[in-house]
Chains A and B, each alone.
Chain A
């Protein structure tokens, strides 16, 4: 199971954080800070795995990847494969790259909700459900269309129509 997905920039600002077990917000913030403090102390060109029992309890591992100004982090337990998780980060980044054509930190900052849509298609309740970025993009596009359509139905807010009706 995947326990958490995080994206943060190299200054430690979280850009996306998703914990698949319920945690109080203070604890979440603490974990994000804890992870960052470990990551930023690691030199370049070393392995992408970390034993992180001290933060996430026994049998937890962390895989991270550093792209430009961002860290992508996955925390998981013994029923996932480390290299497969590294591939999963790759899948995620590829998908984002296709969604935003040349993704950069700003895309991630401003498309918070789309980020979640993408991630939810890949990881479902802590389980990896989809690993093909083409499938993910198809679903994400459908969802965007649906959202746009539901907006178009009533561009005029309900309150306005109610107000006019009087």
Chain B
């Protein structure tokens, strides 16, 4: 009965072709059609008849590849189909397996024997199917178990099978390093094959091996050299060039040797792909070979003037590889690069932009930036932002190394903010603040630019510009003394459209208003004091505030902040209330003829003190300078911390700490200056912190007298305690334009980056290392073998050895302990072998 059912299934089963036709005719929508087809497949695939099953599997494979249907559930059926004696079924089965199996597939173990059987098949096409399968899904176990078969096929007389066996070696080596010992010798022998197909395959494998670990292929350099000189097959030559590019990077002497044949190919070949590969090899790895480099640059030039956009793009790409070492090559082609900026191909444009930025130096930076800003105005949003980003990063590189005229640069930043497509607000924000902190001489211009940004109501509507505005607001508060007209600044900060800002930025606006107010009051009071007016420093350009103007200012602020004291955002509300409270305190006394003792004057002086310290940049390594005390475990996770001391933890949140700590500092300062006024802060938290500090003083950064951090608002720009030791002031370099010397840029110790780059995880790349070790061992064996000149015997011995080993392993699976100890000893011997110097042939010298 069941068999008659399956017959019906078989006769009326829809083939893959029917399924595909159905897709084109279906009326019920694609997903409905797919789910109907899937239902059908699920039924058909369970049938015992292999034809029906394989057709169902074929349909499923199709749906999985093109329509994203999950087929992992059919893994076992794929194993069934692959075991069919019929070639067609086998093909379908293998296709399903290569497409859907991975390391986690549980039935993977079941295919080993089938794959072995097919590898041994006399039918080369069956063997080819099995090889394809192994090359795609080979796991460690499969690679280990099938190494002997792969070894046999490497010597097959049929090219069709042998080239695929060579291809599969890559996967086998990668998954099972010990296979190198077995197969490497045969692989190398294939390098001498006269068959172009075999040669192409084996060179391809070595190219991959050299990419993973160049040093392991170095001893084979003579063989590759021979191919480089003799071969006329472009595919092979391209791969050999790739290998030499890798080898030359670790063995500089090779460069001299291979430069000549590479030049020869460059001159001779008409194939653009080969010429380009030669060029790339020369510019990336042989750039110290002058003649070769000259020829390569000439070839690049030919590419650049071609009409084919592909060649133009690749030419520019090659130029960008040369640029860091040999800028002259780019400068020679300056016109082409600039022209390429307006190319219609986005790739070409981008590549041209990178090249242009590589050419930037302190003399031409303003010209190039001007050109680019013009392009940015005309370009599409993506390219526009790429331009802005490149200019920003080129100019800020290495603490604004190439910027001499900061007034110009700051105006440029202001211009960028006004480009309609600009979305790089955060980067500009960072640079505005950063320049403020680093370059003292640029502050007046910075304040001017900020004021222009703040007073433009149009900018408030653009979401991407909000970060810039927040920086501008901070700058005009922090450096209020440079403001031409504080009254206008305050007006700009309080304009009605600031309602469009998010609360966090709004809070910065209010804080800046506060700072400006304090500054104005300060100069108002100090102007009235006869003694300190002589001390009124050079900075106070707006020295004399009349009583009316101060009153006016206070009124404007009160008017502007009044509504905000009822806002829902706590931060904004609190800050608004702070300012209003401060105004309330001093308001009465402004009008009186003040003496030094007046409350208002003292409070103002105190606030001025709070705001007066400069913020400086923080070194990226500041934290590292604090040495880790003994017994402090930093790497342990703190997951269970909450359990242990949940309640205790709650009040000590991170930003609160910084908040109160800085307040504490204020108090310290006050105590030092024996001021009678007490700060109005919550006692309990601060007291416990003080206690904490006493007990664990070593974890706190040392507070110095000139502690720059006393600004409570700016959590974004944290402590810079270690600064004093680290600041190294750039010396003036003689400039071509002595009329305008470059201002001092505060720069922290360089080498920050290189240090962090140098630290690589020693664990990483372990896999590759052991593979390369295996290859090196194999090479040592090979060289010894050559000496003995008993190659035939050797290879057969290896086969015997490995097959013996396999058998042994199978037996020993039960005795685990013994086996692992054996493994260990083997590993040790391997290590010993690699410590032997790898022999570099005379050829190199």
Contacts and interface: CB of A to CB of B under 8 A. Distances in A.
Interface in A48-105: 48-51, 78-79, 81-84, 86-87
A134 interface: no
A150 B132 contact: no
B662 interface: no
Given A45-B309, A46-B344, A84-B273, A160 B87 contact: no
Contacts of A113: 16, 58, 91-92, 95
A109 B201 CA distance: 31
A6 to B, nearest CB: 10
A112 B16 contact: yes
B20 A110 contact: yes
A128 interface: yes
A113 B197 CA distance: 25
A149 B126 CA distance: 14
Contacts of A125: 132, 135-136, 167-168, 170-171
A49 B347 contact: yes
Given A127-B201, A131-B235, A159-B3, A47 B310 contact: yes
Contacts of A126: 135
A46 B309 contact: yes
Contacts of B10: 157, 159-160
Nearest to B316: A47
Nearest to B19: A112
A39 interface: no
B208 interface: yes
Q: How large is the interface on A (under 10, 10 to 19, 20 to 34, 35 or more residues)?
A: 35 or more
Interface string B154-173: 00000010011001101100
Contacts of B65: 14, 16-18, 28
B276 A139 contact: no
Nearest to A84: B273
Contacts of B58: 113
Interface in B632-657: none
Contacts of A15: 66
Interface in A144-166: 146-147, 149-151, 153-154, 157-160, 162-163
Nearest to A163: B3
Contacts of B64: 25
A47 B345 contact: yes
Interface stretch (B44-52, B477-485, B541-549): B44-52
A47 B49 CA distance: 51
Given A112-B20, A146-B87, A150-B86, A83 B136 contact: no
B312 A162 contact: no
Given A22-B102, A159-B3, A49 B137 contact: no
Contacts of B208: 1, 79, 127
Nearest to B207: A79
B170 A86 contact: no
Contacts of B235: 84, 128, 131
Contacts of B62: 112
Nearest to B9: A159
Interface in A6-25: 14-18, 20, 22, 25
B309 A153 contact: no
Contact of B136 (A20, A87, A142): A20
B125 interface: yes
B219 interface: no
A64 to B, nearest CB: 11
Given A47-B310, A129-B200, A157-B51, A84 B234 contact: yes
A47 B312 contact: yes
A7 B697 CA distance: 66
Contacts of A81: 238, 242, 273, 276-277
B97 to A, nearest CB: 11
A37 interface: no
Interface string A111-141: 0110010001000111111110001000100
A116 B213 CA distance: 32
B24 to A, nearest CB: 8
B6 A159 contact: yes
A138 B833 CA distance: 46
A109 B19 CA distance: 11
B754 interface: no
B273 A135 contact: no
Contact of B242 (A29, A79, A147): A79
Contacts of B103: 22
B820 to A, nearest CB: 30
Given A15-B66, A153-B86, A48 B310 contact: yes
B251 interface: no
A152 to B, nearest CB: 10
A83 B16 contact: no
B7 A160 contact: yes
A83 B273 contact: yes
Nearest to B309: A47
Nearest to B65: A17
A145 to B, nearest CB: 10
Nearest to A42: B346
B309 A129 contact: no
Most buried by A among B68, B91, B277: B68
A15 to B, nearest CB: 7
B17 interface: yes
A86 B310 contact: yes
B617 interface: no
Nearest to B103: A22
Given A128-B235, A129-B164, A83 B276 contact: yes
Interface in B52-70: 52, 58, 62, 64-70
23 contacts: A25-B69, A43-B345, A47-B347, A49-B314, A51-B347, A83-B273, A113-B16, A113-B58, A113-B91, A124-B167, A129-B163, A129-B200, A130-B163, A130-B197, A131-B235, A146-B125, A147-B88, A150-B89, A157-B49, A160-B10, A162-B3, A163-B3, A163-B4
Interface of A: 1, 14-18, 20, 22, 25-26, 28-29, 42-43, 45-51, 78-79, 81-84, 86-87, 109-110, 112-113, 116, 120, 124-131, 135, 139, 142-143, 146-147, 149-151, 153-154, 157-160, 162-163
Interface of B: 3-4, 6-7, 10, 16-17, 20-21, 48-52, 58, 62, 64-71, 86-89, 91-92, 95, 101-103, 123, 125, 131-132, 135-137, 160, 163-164, 167-168, 170-171, 197, 200-201, 204-205, 207-208, 211, 234-235, 238-239, 242, 272-273, 276-277, 309-310, 312-314, 344-348
